[in-house]
Every structure is written in structure tokens, then in C-alpha cells.
Structure 1
Amino acid sequence: MNKFFLKKLSIINFILIPIIFLWHPSWLGFLGVQPYWPLFWLLPWSMINGSINGLIFGLFLGLILDSLTLDNSFTQIPGLIFCGFWFGRIKLHSDNLVGHFRYGLICSIGSFLCGTLYFLQILFRDFSDSNFLMLIPSVKNILAEVFLTGFFAPFICSQFLRMFKFSRRKLQ
């Protein structure tokens, strides 16, 4: 039974992402914005399993999160696919201190890319209706999300990475 849970640990944690996405804990927010939760799981998983698996699970994460949102006009899939592929190309380092801060930087860049791609979809659809002043709150939201994702990533990603490595080592 214990071996079963160790084998399925990454999938169990994968299921937690939509739950946290829906839960939207306000005490972790800043300016009414939450960190971009999918990147916390996608970064360590893609680093361990490679870029093709990161791309595939980025697609699955995007499909799940898009099915949970009320507005079906815009999608999170392109950003998560790109980040999953990019995260899979990043190699693990033995230096733990640099690695922890590197997770924050990588997740911040990934959050910025995902937020920007989502914002560009909105901008292209509503281009004729928008003026410059309507874009300022969107930029504020993207920057707050980037800050929060970069702030929490060293803590959360390092724990996920340790957990995924441990479960993989125990199975071999």
C-alpha cells in the first residue's frame, strides 16, 4: 500500500492543483492576486521527467484549469505548454542554495510568460474596444502574480522536487 502511494505521489499532487486554484486562499494573495499555482508543480516535475512530458502535462494542466474557469473565451494552455517544455530543458544542479533561488526566478519568468500570453488573448479579442488606461490594472495583476509566484516558488518547488525525487528513488 505504501509503495502504491509513493508511485502515485506526483499524480496525487497533480490533483491538488485544481483544488488550490478553486480554493483561492486570500491570505496568500497580494493586491487581490494569487500566485500562479500550476507552475509550482510543473517546474519540478518537468525538470525530473523532461521537456516532452512537461509539454504534455502542461497541456493537461491547461485543459483542467480551462474547464474550471467560467469564461471559456480565453485559454491558459499556450503558456503552460511553453513553460512545461522550457522547464523540462532546465537541468538540476547540486547547489541547493542557488537552486532554491533559481526556482523563484524561473517561476517568475514562467508566470510572466503565462500571464502575458493570457493578456494578449484578451487584448486581441477586445482590441477595438480598449484604450490605454484600461490596460493598467491588467499589467498590475500580472506583476503582482509574478512577484507572488517568485516569492513562494523556492519554498514550494523545492519541496515538490524533493518529494518527486524521493518517490522515484524508492521505486527503483
Structure 2
Amino acid sequence: MNKFFKKKLSIICFIFIPIIFLWHPNWLGFLGVQPYWPLFWLLPWSMIHGSINGLIFGLFLGLILDSVTLDSNFTQIPGLILCGILFGRIKLHSDILLGHFRYGLICSFGSFLCGSLYFLQILFKNFSDSNFLLFLPSFHNILAEVFLTGFFAPFICSQLFRMFKITRRKLQ
């Protein structure tokens, strides 16, 4: 049984992403905004398995998250696919401290990219309203999400990266 969990650890962690996304723990938030949870799993997975797997799992992650959210007018798929491709192109580095710091920067960039693409969808849909001041709180939300994602990424991504790397080595 323990061997089964070690082999399927990355998929089990993948299943927990929509649960955490829906759970939305307030004690981990800042100004009412949560970190962008899917990037914590997508970054280590894409770094280990490459751009093509990052694209595929970014698509699956986007489909799952879009299916569990109430607002069906906008999608998270383009941002997650783009992040999966970009994260897969990042090479592994041997310096531990730089690696932890880099996880935060990369996840912050990915969170900004996903948040901006989601905001652009909202902006294009409501372009005829032409009252741009109504969209200013969106910048606040994007920046708070970028900060939180960058803050928690070194802790979460480094642990997931270590677990995924051990699992991949045992499979080979």
C-alpha cells in the first residue's frame, strides 16, 4: 500500500488542488485574496517533466478548475497552459538557496501572468461599459495574489519538487 502511494504521489497531490481552491482557507489570505494554488503544483511538475507535460497538465488543471467554479464566462486555461510551457523550459539548478528564492519569483511571475490574462478576459467582455474605474480593484487583487503566491512558493514548491523528484527516480 505504501508503494502505491509513493508511485501515485504526484497525482494524489494533483487531486488536492481543486479541494484547496474551493476550500479557500481565510487564514492563508491577505486582504481577502488567496495565493494562486495551481501554480504550486504546476511549477515542480513542469520543471521535472518538461514543457509538453506542463502544457497537458496546465490544460487539465484549467479544465478542472473551470468546471468547479461558479462563473463560467471566463477561463483559467490560457494562463495555466502558458505557465506550464514556461515552467517546463526552466532548467534545474544545484544551488539550494537560489532554488528556493527562484520558486517564489517564478510563481509570482506565473501568478501575474494568469491573473492578467483572466483580467483581460473580463475587460474585453465588459469593454462596452467603458467605465474603467470599476476595474481598479482588480489590480489590487492581482498584486495581492502575486505577493502571496511568491511568499508561499518557496515553502510549498520545494517540498513538492523533492517529492516529485524522488517519485520520478523510483519509476525509472
TM interval, shorter chain, is over 0.9
Structure 2: distance between partners of 1:93 and 1:6 = 24
Find the counterpart in structure 2 of residue 131 from structure 1: 131
Structure 1: distance between partners of 2:140 and 2:131 = 16
Find the counterpart in structure 2 of residue 39 from structure 1: 39
The reply to whether residue 51 of structure 1 matches residue 51 of structure 2 is yes
Structure 1: distance between partners of 2:130 and 2:83 = 28
After TM superposition, give the deviation of residue 156 of structure 1 in Å.
0.3
Find the counterpart in structure 2 of residue 120 from structure 1: 120
Q: Percent identity?
A: 85
TM-score (norm 1): 0.98
Find the counterpart in structure 2 of residue 104 from structure 1: 104
Structure 1 unaligned regions, length at least 5: none
Structure 2: distance between partners of 1:133 and 1:18 = 32
Structure 1: distance between partners of 2:130 and 2:26 = 29
Structure 2: distance between partners of 1:68 and 1:158 = 27
Find the counterpart in structure 2 of residue 27 from structure 1: 27
Secondary structure at 2:127 match in 1: coil
CA displacement, residues 34-72 of structure 1 (integer Å, 9 cap, x when unaligned): 000000000000000000000000000000000011110
Aligned residues: 172
Structure 2 unaligned regions, length at least 5: none
Structure 2: distance between partners of 1:103 and 1:143 = 17
Structure 1: distance between partners of 2:103 and 2:11 = 21
Aligned-pair Cα RMSD in Å: 0.8
Find the counterpart in structure 2 of residue 167 from structure 1: 167
Dislocated runs of 4+, deviation >4 Å: none
Structure 1: distance between partners of 2:108 and 2:27 = 20
CA displacement, residues 78-99 of structure 1 (integer Å, 9 cap, x when unaligned): 0000000000000110101000
The reply to whether residue 62 of structure 1 matches residue 83 of structure 2 is no
Structure 1: distance between partners of 2:121 and 2:38 = 19
